[in-house]
A and B are shown apart, each in its own frame.
Chain A
Amino acid sequence: MKRTGIVGGVNGNMVAVNFEDRVMQNEVAYVIVGDESLKAEVIRIKGKRAEVQVFEDTQDISVGDTVEFTGELLSVELGPGLLGGVYDGLQNPLEELAEQHGFFLKRGAYLEALTDEQQWEFTPVVKVGDKVRAGEKVGTVPEKIFTHWIMAPFNLQGELEVVEIVDAGSYPVSKVVAKVKDAHDKVHDVGMRQFWPVKIPISAYAQKLKPVDPLVTKIRIVDTLVPVAIGGTFCTPGPFGAGKTVLQHLLSRHSEVDVVVVAACGERAGEVVELLEEFPELTDPRTGRSLMDRTIIICNTSSMPVAARESSVYTAVTLAEYYRQMGLNVLLLADSTSRWAQAMREMSGRLEEIPGEEAFPAYLETRIASFYERAGLVKLRDGSIGSVTIGGAVSPAGGNFEEPVTQATLKVVGAFHGLSWNRANSRRYPAIEPLESWSKYKSFVDADKVKKGTEILRKSNHVEQMMKVVGEEGMSIDEFIDYLKGEFLDAVYLQQNAFDKVDEATSADRQKFIFDVLEQIIDKPFSFDDKDVARKFFQDLRQRFITWNSTEFQGEEFKKLEEEIKNKVNG
């Protein structure tokens, strides 16, 4: 017998429902409008009245329409076949929706994320009588580039005894492949897929560890100056036009991780389309396969319903955690967490909650903190290590970092990559402000060398500020050389040409190698007759270095230019 209710009011995407029986907080409900069923989530209950946020346009709903409650929390499907997928915030596969409904997103059309059409080659790894715990594998299937683990349901407690296991063979995702018995002799099914509520972290692992190893992103300024650790968190706030999204795309392409989950949350649809067209064409150097094979895209772009935007980041992080459970390193990129926060604000406004700063709800900070806390390096129950690294773009109003979302985020992340208008306007990409950004993680480039680099950038910046007041003639030649050195380091190392086939990604080895050369230049006490000569020297050096950056590492051309540069510096 289905529990139902009756619509009592409509305000934007919030619908009030009068019910008789009982209602569970955060359960999924469907509002029935004609022949359409609109998915919704219960977000507040007052007496016999529940308020639900509808994940669709609410046009045509009228008072008296029926609402059906499902008794389930908002969940996602986890199983083989997710890699390479493109889903909306509720995990509806967009490609399949397009096939069935054409150009537009039809209201009330939902599809399963994983279909039974595909068969998976299952190999059991346990036998009847074996003991497993939640999250431990009972078998494997090959999925694109990995061996995908079929695991005991994450929600079970204690030790479980395998009482049934199927033979090796081809099965669809809906197949029950094993049965396990818990301590109370209750038997549970183990399917090829399982469902998990998105707002609850998956915690079927042995231990959470401290993230230490650097994650190689191949973006020089990030890896050297403001590194990210595997299993760590970072945020990228920046005004519009500073290149947040381009930077996130570069990270998603070049980062040395096993799986990338991209959550396009409330941003432009066009940017997602670029990923969709580009990724299948690009090859992942680590596997030799298409980049799409390691990517999952969750896309709830700005014109798609707001309530689903709020859940899209949770959907994304749940998928990331799922692959982490297989001992993989997963990178989750959320662009942009501000849109997610705004979705919370819109809903909070409709609920007429007392607003906090800039009308954001008072629980904004805890929500942001608990989202980033889902990142981490974990030791699984079989001893292998998996991780989720979270990078969130933040879009502060007016580019001013003193606003609630940026501030709440800075408190909980391990690295801050602040983008600035200043650098973007002078086309210094990536526009990460080197002196204001910070990271609590360690780089693979020697810390003392990095320190020299930041020192010279700081000095250079200082001289530049001074020159604005006293002019070039007011500075000594040595100070001026420091200024030129800093500018040089910026131009040839911190800036990176995303459109150059070689320069767009710099391996860890190459970064260390180049930085050694730069260290020599920074250390060397140059002497020049006058400032014009000094400037000319560094312009020339910069020229060669930029050409050097776009030659194949340790190739012939590379070595030739290396010689030239060293001769110039020492000659």
Chain B
Amino acid sequence: MQKVYSEILQIAGDVITVEAEGVKYKELAEVKSGQGTSLAQVIRLEGKKVDLQVLAGSRGISTDDKVRFLKHPMRVSFSDNLLGRVFTGCGVPRDNGPVLEENKINIGGPSVNPAKRIVPKNMIRTGIPMIDIFNTLVESQKLPIFSIAGEPYNELLARIALQAEVDLIVLGGMGLKYDDYLYFRDTLEEHGSLSRSILFVHTASDPTVECLLVPDMSLAVAEQFALQGKRVLVLLTDMTNFADALKEVSITMEQIPSNRGYPGDLYSQLASRYEKAVDFDTAGSITVLAVTTMPGDDVTHPVPDNTGYITEGQFYLRGGHIEPFGSLSRLKQQVNGDTRDDHRAIMDRMIQLFAEYRSTLEKKSMGFQMSQWDHKLLQYGARFEKELMDLSVNIPLEQALDLGWKILSDIFEPAETGMKESLIKQFWPAEPLQKAQ
């Protein structure tokens, strides 16, 4: 017979304290109050005192409400029945489907043994040249999109999701605006992808603590599918809301904050989620794409900063396009050597020249005299921005590389490009002499 405790000693923030015995760390409990029933999770044990975090928030809980411990940690049901469904952060259906009770699995399970990981080898083609050529996305990569509010990051996320060749999509929404949630659901539905998607959505109006569970729920489910051999793409938006929820809870718990109020273990907290991205030896994979909005467009803010140290690169979304500087896919070397011989050279030189173009622009704006070289750079930069950088460009990698050579040969002499001679011989377009004068 499970004991029910009916004396709550303390309520501070969303954390309540009761006196109980035999309680396990991280165990779940049920709190029945006038506001309904909510789950709560044990976050500290001190003698008989048990601190519980109430997932639905503590509003309306009174000191004589009933607390019943459930003898198990947070779990989620796992089966093919999840496909096409939408849940809250606690795993309660948000759509009109039935509650799923079968085959419950623990969330936030142990870390993968590094000896069982493999080096990822498959490129994920997106049709976006700024990704495919310059920062190739690779299966099992974890990559954030750094962006400021107002940029079309959710659109970019949705587009990559639809075009990427994967078996399953798990979307974890944290602090999502309700219309963004509808946008994702409808876009997936329109393109016939909802049936291979699972959504865990916490909207901005839901209790904060639920937000903390979204990544764990999404990744626990993704992990099970990956173990069955599926290639899973996990989309998380927006991880800054997750970090803010962490901050809120840790401050309530009177933890000493380290940087701008965020807890000292922010890095470990984020890492334990992102590191779930994996390519299993002899099974499937998990690729994680996450949006991280940067407050004040400041990449040194603790959230993007810690994220950047964890993830395998990052895409900066700025002014409606993916920035060539700073954006980086760390895994691109694993795949871009096998695409085409000129891939790496085009990637490096075009960016270096674009950097020179940017500094020429600066000089120009200050009214300095433009040299012949500067004029070439200006021409180059304008074409680069229009033909490769624009987010509406949708061409396969090979076509994009050819376009790169076309732009270079239209403007520069071969030696000016700094390319190796063997590549110039092989790829320089046939009529180099008819330059735009």
Instruction: Spell out A's residues near B (CB within 8 Å).
Output: 8-12, 16, 57-64, 86, 94-95, 97-98, 101-107, 239-241, 266-270, 272-274, 276-277, 299, 301-304, 306, 336, 339, 342, 345-346, 349, 352, 355, 358-360, 395, 397-400, 421, 425-427, 467-468, 471-473, 499, 531-532, 535, 539-540, 542-543, 546-547, 550
A-B contact pairs, 11 of them (CB 8 A): A10-B45, A62-B23, A63-B45, A97-B115, A105-B111, A241-B326, A336-B309, A425-B326, A426-B352, A472-B368, A546-B420
Contacts A269-B112, A270-B331, A532-B371; A63 near B352 (Cβ below 8 A): no
User: Is there contact, CB below 8 Å, between A276 and B418?
Assistant: no
Using Cβ atoms and an 8 Å threshold, which residues of chain B touch A535?
371, 373
Using Cβ atoms and an 8 Å threshold, which residues of chain B touch A303?
111-112, 271-272, 275-276
Tell me if B386 is interfacial: C-beta within 8 Å of chain A.
no
User: Is there contact, CB below 8 Å, between A471 and B368?
Assistant: yes
Tell me if B46 is interfacial: C-beta within 8 Å of chain A.
yes
Instruction: Spell out B's residues near A (CB within 8 Å).
Output: 21-27, 44-48, 73, 109-120, 140, 227, 255-259, 263-265, 267-268, 271-272, 274-276, 278, 280-281, 283, 299-302, 305-306, 308-310, 312-314, 325-326, 328, 330-331, 333, 337, 344, 348, 351-352, 355, 362-363, 366, 368-369, 371-373, 415-416, 418, 420-421
Closest Cβ–Cβ distance, residue A95 to chain B (whole Å): 5
How far is A154 from B112 in the complex, measured between Cα atoms in Å? Answer: 36
User: Is there contact, CB below 8 Å, between A471 and B418?
Assistant: no
Closest Cβ–Cβ distance, residue A103 to chain B (whole Å): 5
How far is A287 from B209 in the complex, measured between Cα atoms in Å? Answer: 57
Checking B118, B276, B337, B369 against A471 with a beta-carbon cut-off of 8 angstroms, the contacting residue is B369
User: Is there contact, CB below 8 Å, between A241 and B328?
Assistant: yes
Closest Cβ–Cβ distance, residue B32 to chain A (whole Å): 23
User: Is there contact, CB below 8 Å, between B415 and A299?
Assistant: no
User: Is there contact, CB below 8 Å, between B110 and A106?
Assistant: yes
| Contacts A103-B281, A349-B264 supplied; 5 other A-B pairs, CB < 8 Å | A98-B115, A101-B113, A359-B257, A400-B300, A472-B363
How far is A326 from B116 in the complex, measured between Cα atoms in Å? Answer: 33
Question: Taking CB as reference atom, which chain A residue is nearest B422?
Answer: A547
Question: Taking CB as reference atom, which chain B residue is nearest A239?
Answer: B308
Checking A58, A273, A499 against B114 with a beta-carbon cut-off of 8 angstroms, the contacting residue is A273
Checking A16, A61, A101, A346 against B24 with a beta-carbon cut-off of 8 angstroms, the contacting residue is A61
Can you list the 4 inter-chain pairs with the closest CB atoms, starting with the nearest?
A398-B300, A471-B368, A302-B271, A303-B275
Using Cβ atoms and an 8 Å threshold, which residues of chain B touch A60?
24-27, 73
Closest Cβ–Cβ distance, residue B328 to chain A (whole Å): 5
Closest Cβ–Cβ distance, residue A274 to chain B (whole Å): 6
User: Is there contact, CB below 8 Å, between A240 and B114?
Assistant: no
User: Is there contact, CB below 8 Å, between A539 and B416?
Assistant: yes
How far is A531 from B371 in the complex, measured between Cα atoms in Å? Answer: 9
Question: Taking CB as reference atom, which chain B residue is nearest A425?
Answer: B325
Question: Taking CB as reference atom, which chain B residue is nearest A530?
Answer: B371
User: Is there contact, CB below 8 Å, between A63 and B305?
Assistant: no
The winner among B73, B267, B309, B325 for most chain A CB atoms within 10 A is B309
Closest Cβ–Cβ distance, residue B71 to chain A (whole Å): 10
Question: Taking CB as reference atom, which chain B residue is nearest A18?
Answer: B47
Contacts A104-B113, A301-B275; A472 near B268 (Cβ below 8 A): no
Contacts A62-B23, A105-B113, A346-B264; A268 near B312 (Cβ below 8 A): yes
How far is A62 from B21 in the complex, measured between Cα atoms in Å? Answer: 9
How far is A57 from B106 in the complex, measured between Cα atoms in Å? Answer: 13
User: Is there contact, CB below 8 Å, between B21 and A63?
Assistant: yes
Closest Cβ–Cβ distance, residue B334 to chain A (whole Å): 8
User: Is there contact, CB below 8 Å, between A274 and B268?
Assistant: no
Closest Cβ–Cβ distance, residue A393 to chain B (whole Å): 11
Contacts A10-B25, A395-B309; A63 near B114 (Cβ below 8 A): no
User: Is there contact, CB below 8 Å, between B112 and A104?
Assistant: yes
Using Cβ atoms and an 8 Å threshold, which residues of chain A touch B21?
63-64
User: Is there contact, CB below 8 Å, between B259 and A358?
Assistant: yes
How far is A421 from B328 in the complex, measured between Cα atoms in Å? Answer: 12
Question: Taking CB as reference atom, which chain A residue is nearest B418?
Answer: A543
Checking B268, B328, B351 against A302 with a beta-carbon cut-off of 8 angstroms, the contacting residue is B268
Using Cβ atoms and an 8 Å threshold, which residues of chain B touch A542?
418
User: Is there contact, CB below 8 Å, between A427 and B348?
Assistant: yes
Using Cβ atoms and an 8 Å threshold, which residues of chain B touch A399?
300
Using Cβ atoms and an 8 Å threshold, which residues of chain B touch A268?
275, 310, 312
User: Is there contact, CB below 8 Å, between B258 and A358?
Assistant: yes
Question: Taking CB as reference atom, which chain A residue is nearest B258?
Answer: A359
Question: Taking CB as reference atom, which chain A residue is nearest B42?
Answer: A10
Closest Cβ–Cβ distance, residue B387 to chain A (whole Å): 21
User: Is there contact, CB below 8 Å, between B300 and A426?
Assistant: no
How far is A34 from B294 in the complex, measured between Cα atoms in Å? Answer: 44
Contacts A345-B264, A426-B352; A59 near B26 (Cβ below 8 A): yes
User: Is there contact, CB below 8 Å, between B117 and A397?
Assistant: no
User: Is there contact, CB below 8 Å, between B326 and A98?
Assistant: no
Checking A94, A336, A425, A473 against B115 with a beta-carbon cut-off of 8 angstroms, the contacting residue is A94
Using Cβ atoms and an 8 Å threshold, which residues of chain B touch A471?
363, 366, 368-369
How far is A399 from B304 in the complex, measured between Cα atoms in Å? Answer: 12
Using Cβ atoms and an 8 Å threshold, which residues of chain B touch A272?
114
User: Is there contact, CB below 8 Å, between B302 and A397?
Assistant: yes
User: Is there contact, CB below 8 Å, between A349 and B305?
Assistant: no
User: Is there contact, CB below 8 Å, between A59 and B24?
Assistant: yes
How far is A256 from B223 in the complex, measured between Cα atoms in Å? Answer: 42
User: Is there contact, CB below 8 Å, between B312 and A306?
Assistant: no
User: Is there contact, CB below 8 Å, between B272 and A97?
Assistant: no
Using Cβ atoms and an 8 Å threshold, which residues of chain B touch A426?
352, 355
Closest Cβ–Cβ distance, residue A347 to chain B (whole Å): 9
Contacts A241-B314, A473-B369, A531-B371; A103 near B113 (Cβ below 8 A): yes
Using Cβ atoms and an 8 Å threshold, which residues of chain B touch A105?
110-113
Checking A9, A352, A397 against B305 with a beta-carbon cut-off of 8 angstroms, the contacting residue is A397
User: Is there contact, CB below 8 Å, between B114 and A64?
Assistant: no
Using Cβ atoms and an 8 Å threshold, which residues of chain A touch B23?
62-63
How far is A459 from B110 in the complex, measured between Cα atoms in Å? Answer: 54
Question: Taking CB as reference atom, which chain A residue is nearest B308?
Answer: A240
Using Cβ atoms and an 8 Å threshold, which residues of chain A touch B265?
12, 306, 342, 346, 349
Using Cβ atoms and an 8 Å threshold, which residues of chain B touch A532?
371-373
Using Cβ atoms and an 8 Å threshold, which residues of chain A touch B110?
57, 104-107
Contacts A345-B264, A359-B257, A547-B420; A468 near B326 (Cβ below 8 A): no
User: Is there contact, CB below 8 Å, between B268 and A346?
Assistant: yes
How far is A266 from B267 in the complex, measured between Cα atoms in Å? Answer: 9
Question: Taking CB as reference atom, which chain A residue is nearest B138?
Answer: A270
Using Cβ atoms and an 8 Å threshold, which residues of chain A touch B44?
9-11
Closest Cβ–Cβ distance, residue A381 to chain B (whole Å): 38
Question: Taking CB as reference atom, which chain A residue is nearest B20?
Answer: A63
User: Is there contact, CB below 8 Å, between B310 and A539?
Assistant: no
